[in-house]
Amino acid sequence: MPSVFFFEDECEDKFLLGNKGANLVTMTKLGLPVPPGFIVSIEAYREYQRSGKLPLEELRRALSWLQKKTGKKLGDGLSVSVRSSAPASMPGMMDTVLNLKDEDKIISAVKRVFDSWDNLRAVEYRRLNKIPSDLGTSAIVQAMVLGNKEKNSGTGVVFTRNPNNGQKRLFGEYLDRAQGEDLVSGKRTPQPIETLRLQMPEVYAELERVADILERHFRDMQDVEFTVEDGKLYVLQTRSGKRSGRAAVRIAIDMVKEGIISPEEAILRLTPEDVRALLYKQLKPPVQYRPVAQGLSACPGAASGKVVFDPLEADTKARLNEAVILVRPETSPEDIQGIHAAEGVLTSRGGLTSHAAIVTRAMGKPCVCGAETLNIDLKEETLTIGDLVIRKGDEITIDGDTGNIYLGALPLQEAEATTELKELMSWADSYKRLGVWANADTVEMILQAKKFGAEGIGLCRTERQFNSPERLSAIREFILAQTPAERSEAINHLQRLQKEDFIDIFRALDGMPIIIRLLDMPLHEFLPSEEETTDPQVKERLRELREVNPMLGHRGVRVGVTFPEIYQMQIDAISEARAEVPANVAIMVPQVITVQELLWVKKYIKDPALKVGIMMETVRACMRAGKLAQEADFFSFGTNDLTQAVFSFSREDVERKFLTTYLELGILEHNPFQILDIKGVGRLMETAVSWARKEKKTLEIGVCGEHAGEPLSIRFFHRIGIDYVSCSPFRIPTTKLVAAQAALEQKGAPISAPSESAAKDASSVS
């Protein structure tokens, strides 16, 4: 094999030529104006590494070819650059040597470029970006074009489309009478690319033509380096351009319309983060406020709320529906709950890879970090910026897109389901197999879910409806009732209230199916705490109801069986509401362990049109999936509780106390509450699905819970034949995207046999 490859050769192998080199060959083939040259291959680099020797013979021959090709002699009208080129993007990390005029200098320069693979900067960059250290680099030798001539010359970098918003128009910088290095070094301030259009309209038009050819060939937005010598355009480099999430979506959609890519490709190349970027809240324009400070934009989106310094307090406040911004010097794993509860997070220390930044990004929660002008006093609970003192409870707004911090709660606007989003979703809908439903308890959330394209409501919890004061007092009356008469009066009251709720909900559904879950919460949670009450009767009842471990105690269907009035009341309220507003309703029973429980609840149901299914959230239910399938109309895996049960974990304790250590030590690969534990919980699910379907082929099986919106987990649910996932309304678009990706990726790939796919899942932690 030769050690030197010419731009005019056939070979476009990036593992031999590096990205830059391979793309120069491609551009030459496309007939674009590329200064001629050749590439000393990565194989030659390897040989150089082993023996210290360069292929001098070939190099010299190539140089004399270059002189013939250009009709100029080295040092007499011809100079060359020697450029690095690796199979991975390592922008600016290795050496480039320009303006070389004799053979010996060129041979030192090739060595220098090869050696620069191992310079400190490059090594550190590879380590941070997980780029294998044995990829190696080639050295490109290319005839120089001179952008630093006096007239009609210059250099620039353009994106073929706007990387911030995706608009189809050249976007970039130009510097006249300059070479590439002048542009990067920042010695002279470049002008917008618009200047080139004004100074040399034909060159600009040529650049647009080049951009179009490149985009159509590479089928993506490009980031192009070019130089103009004496009014003639030369292209020196192209690569796919980095872009914001919003731009990524717009570019993908536009490229489908321009016939550059197919809708399938658009779906496959977008990431959930790209789509999520369309859903963040933003400051309502026009934004004419002056920020009081600025930090790093760690996670996009805007949020406002009262300043809180204590994570636990953030949690308490959020439970009372108060919007809070958690302000800390920096965050640590103990603060997770507070971060969860807050609308947004603001820190004065730490960069874009700090704990706060990473955690908020995973949650999609607005975050500004490392705002160093902030002086946070945790003891006094104050935040000082210069003369300005902000106290606990004062309202602020943070903008994770800009890193700006504002005083007061500024008007924000919710993400709208834009035409772009709708278009993308219609493609996703046409490829995906998984149904995408929403978890929604209120009319507001149902409307939200519809806006984002939910196909049904997969989990409507009834707990939330007891939260308002009137309902809370009604259920307390029931719990505290002394006589059967009191009890039945209380239950009738509740039934009237629930019926009203369901009527509102059914109206909002407007034909969409809904699964209503019967009461799941332990009863004592509806009572005040012991300290809060002086009423001896309440105290007495509290003592009776007290549990050692409420989450494993008297809750779910167990309450339904022992207090039959409650489930009966809920079921009757649903039936009565349905009689007034027709709706496609199914009832779901939580915490089931045995078929007898299900049969028991079924006795309460008089309306044959009401389907009854169960939450699959106990290990026993999974082990009895076949039997349960005979009696249930559908299953819905509650993966949060199921994960707790399979791991014997109590989520809050685990996340607060030791999960981080486990992740750091590699004992666990992920937080199993965020990413489904495929090998354990997943395998149990897969087994349950196959047993259930053996009994009832057509059994509808869904997943509700946080995992239903998480990409890796969604792929797994697709693989094991889950029918639908039900996630929070805001996650619907990303969930649909991933569901479509899963279906497209699987096309052609064989479906693995049940209970093998979980075990085969490639990961180091078993």
- 655's contact among ligand ADP, Mg ion, none, with CB below 5 to 8 A by partner kind, is none
From CA 430, how far away is CA 252, in angstroms rounded? 17
CB atoms within 10 A of CB 660: 16
- 35's contact among ligand ADP, Mg ion, none, with CB below 5 to 8 A by partner kind, is ligand ADP
Q: Which residue is nearest to Mg ion (CB)?
A: 641
Active site residue 367: no
Question: Is residue 347 involved in binding ligand ADP (CB under 6 A)?
Answer: no
Binders of ligand ADP among residues 33 to 72 (CB under 6 A) are: 35
Question: Is residue 92 involved in binding ligand ADP (CB under 6 A)?
Answer: yes
Q: Which of 355, 493, 707, 718 is catalytic?
A: 355
- 277's contact among ligand ADP, Mg ion, none, with CB below 5 to 8 A by partner kind, is none
- For the bound state, the minimum distance from the C-beta of residue 197 to ligand ADP, rounded and expressed in Å, comes to 20
Question: Is residue 711 involved in binding ligand ADP (CB under 6 A)?
Answer: no
| Amino acid found at 673 | F
Strand partners, 84: 139
From CA 156, how far away is CA 225, in angstroms rounded? 6
> Would you tell me which residues interact with Mg ion (CB under 5 A)?
237, 617, 638, 641
Q: Out of 28, 41, 74, 83, which residue is the one contacting ligand ADP (CB under 6 A)?
A: 83
Range in contact with ligand ADP (rule: CB under 6 A) among 44-52, 175-183, 583-591, 648-656: 175-183
- For the bound state, the minimum distance from the C-beta of residue 385 to Mg ion, rounded and expressed in Å, comes to 40
Specify whether the CB–CB gap between 611 and 584 falls below 8 A: no
From CA 327, how far away is CA 312, in angstroms rounded? 12
Three-state secondary structure readout of 303-364:
EEEEEECCHHHHHHHHHCCCCEEEEECCCCHHHHHHHHHCCEEEECCCCCCCHHHHHHHHHC
Specify whether the CB–CB gap between 617 and 681 falls below 8 A: no
**Beta carbon nearer to ligand ADP, 2 or 36:** 36
Specify whether the CB–CB gap between 434 and 722 falls below 8 A: yes
- 96's contact among Mg ion, ligand ADP, none, with CB below 5 to 8 A by partner kind, is ligand ADP
- 639's contact among ligand ADP, Mg ion, none, with CB below 5 to 8 A by partner kind, is none
Active site residue 704: yes
CB atoms within 10 A of CB 669: 16
Tell the residue number behind the tokens 């002279």, with chain if given: 188
Q: Which of 367, 460, 704, 727 is catalytic?
A: 704
- 638's contact among Mg ion, ligand ADP, none, with CB below 5 to 8 A by partner kind, is Mg ion
* Helix or strand (DSSP H, E) at 337: helix 336-341
> Residue 40 has which token pair?
């000393």
- 11's contact among Mg ion, ligand ADP, none, with CB below 5 to 8 A by partner kind, is none
Please give the torsion angle defined by the CA atoms of residues 35, 236, 52 and 55, in that order, rounded to the nearest 10 degrees. Answer: -30
Tell the residue number behind the tokens 């009572």, with chain if given: 527
Q: Out of 96, 119, 650, 755, which residue is the one contacting ligand ADP (CB under 6 A)?
A: 96
**Beta carbon nearer to ligand ADP, 227 or 397:** 227
Question: Is residue 97 involved in binding ligand ADP (CB under 6 A)?
Answer: no
**Beta carbon nearer to ligand ADP, 225 or 254:** 225
- 254's contact among ligand ADP, Mg ion, none, with CB below 5 to 8 A by partner kind, is none
Question: Is residue 703 involved in binding ligand ADP (CB under 6 A)?
Answer: no
Which phi-psi region, left, alpha or beta, contains residue 483 (left: φ > 0; alpha: ψ -120 to 50)? beta
Work out the burial of residue 413: count CB atoms within 10 Å of its CB; fewer than 13 is exposed, 13-18 middle, 19 or more buried: exposed
- For the bound state, the minimum distance from the C-beta of residue 25 to ligand ADP, rounded and expressed in Å, comes to 15
> Residue 494 has which token pair?
């509740």
- For the bound state, the minimum distance from the C-beta of residue 109 to ligand ADP, rounded and expressed in Å, comes to 12
- Please report, for residues 96, 113, 116, 187, the alpha-carbon distance to residue 93 in angstroms, rounded to integers and kept in the order given: 10, 11, 8, 19
Binding mask 213-252 for ligand ADP (x = CB under 6 A): ------------x-x--------xx---------------
Size of the site for ligand ADP (CB under 6 A): 20
Give residue 648's Cα distance to chain centre: 28
Nearest 5°: the CA angle 719, 722, 724 is 125
Locate the DSSP E strands across 380-519. Answer: 382-385, 388-391, 395-399, 404-407, 412-413, 435-439, 457-461, 514-517
Q: Out of 26, 137, 155, 448, which residue is the one contacting ligand ADP (CB under 6 A)?
A: 155
Residues making contact with ligand ADP (CB under 6 A): 35, 81, 83-84, 91-92, 96, 98, 142-145, 155, 179-181, 225, 227, 236-237
Catalytic residues: 355, 704
